[in-house]
């Protein structure tokens, strides 16, 4: 009787070890599901809203940072980053996404932050005192959003940054790696252009990063009203294709 009970107990233990959710040294680890590996609060806006970044993809692969919503009235490309964040796991790239860099501007539907400063004129490289539509702040890096982004990029030190804007419809080739800019344009189906900003390109995030770091920061501009399907379906796949990355389980769904 005891012998039969011992065999039955051993059988139950073996079955339990093989059951889903029960750890077993012999059973393989479950596959990672979903894109998000972690998240980080970069800082707070003038009005106290959190500036969030999400870590996706494969650690150890080349680091890429995607930023949207620097201007609160240019929010359509934010959907590209949210789709990447909320979809299947991402392979082939070590990716960080910041869907809403200027949350106060996004809430108000305005280009500037709650201090009335254009964050893309507030970085401490070739900063100058600008007024009006391109108000650059009391001094370089005067804004909490600027300081939060600077600290984040110093910590992460990405190889590539894409900063998404509207409405100029193109990829800026006035950067230190024009060949890469043209490649991005081909993958995103956007023309290569030089964005002169009408002579007020001072203190921009891409200029600061390109001057301070070995990596490359690039401005990508969509049109005034890009189609919703482009932002939600096509563009996320196109962005991943720049680095040969894809969504889905390893070896499954490659190419998007």
Residues 21 and 132 occupy one common structural domain: no
Q: How far apart are CA 218 and CA 80, in angstroms?
A: 16
Total of domains in the chain: 2
C-beta separation of 106 from 73 below 8 A: no
Within a domain: residue 254? no
31 DSSP assignment: P
Residues 22 and 95 occupy one common structural domain: no
Residues 200 and 240 occupy one common structural domain: yes
| pLDDT one-digit tens code per residue, 212-238 | 999 999 999 999 999 999 999 999 999
Residues 11 and 88 occupy one common structural domain: no
Residues 175 and 149 occupy one common structural domain: yes
Strand partners, 170: 221
Residues 96 and 2 occupy one common structural domain: no
In this structure, what CATH number is given to the domain that contains residue 237? 3.40.630.10
Helix residue ranges per DSSP H, 32-110: 78-86, 103-108
Query: Does pLDDT of 5 surpass 60?
Result: no
Q: Tokens 């006035």 sit at which residue? A: 174
At 250, is the pLDDT very low, low, confident or very high (cuts 50, 70, 90)?
low
pTM: 0.85
Residues 144 and 230 occupy one common structural domain: yes
> Looking at residue 63, what is its pLDDT?
98
C-beta separation of 106 from 72 below 8 A: yes
**97 HSE (CA, 13 A, CB side):** 25
Task: Supply the range of the domain harboring residue 18.
Answer: 1-30
Residues 24 and 76 occupy one common structural domain: no
Residues 189 and 153 occupy one common structural domain: yes
Q: In what order do the strands lie in the sheet with 192-193?
A: 36-44, 50-57, 94-98, 63-67, 160-165, 216-221, 170-172, 192-193
Residues 215 and 242 occupy one common structural domain: yes
Residues 208 and 154 occupy one common structural domain: yes
């Amino acid at each position: 009787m005891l012998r039969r009970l011992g065999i039955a107990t051993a059988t139950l233990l073996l079955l339990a070890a093989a059951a889903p959710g029960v750890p077993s040294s012999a059973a393989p680890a479950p596959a990672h599901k979903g894109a998000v590996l972690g998240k980080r609060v970069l800082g707070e806006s003038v009005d106290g809203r959190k500036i969030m970044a999400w870590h996706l993809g494969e650690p150890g692969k080349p680091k890429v940072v995607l930023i949207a919503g620097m201007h609160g009235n240019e929010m359509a490309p934010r959907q590209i980053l949210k789709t990447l964040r909320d979809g299947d796991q991402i392979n082939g790239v070590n990716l960080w996404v910041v869907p809403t860099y200027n949350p106060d501007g996004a809430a108000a539907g305005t280009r500037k932050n709650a201090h009335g400063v254009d964050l893309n004129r507030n970085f401490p490289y070739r900063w100058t005192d600008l007024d009006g539509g391109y108000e650059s702040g009391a001094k370089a890096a005067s804004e909490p959003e600027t300081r939060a982004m600077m600290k984040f990029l110093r910590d992460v030190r990405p190889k590539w940054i894409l900063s998404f804007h509207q409405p100029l419809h193109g990829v800026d080739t006035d950067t230190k790696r024009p060949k890469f800019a043209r490649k991005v344009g081909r993958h995103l189906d956007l023309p290569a252009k030089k964005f002169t900003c009408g002579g007020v390109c001072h203190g921009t995030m891409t200029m600061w990063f390109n001057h301070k770091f070995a990596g490359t920061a690039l401005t990508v501009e969509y049109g005034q009203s890009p189609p919703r399907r482009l932002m939600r379906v096509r563009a996320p796949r196109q962005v991943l294709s720049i680095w040969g990355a894809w969504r889905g389980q390893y070896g499954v769904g490659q190419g998007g």
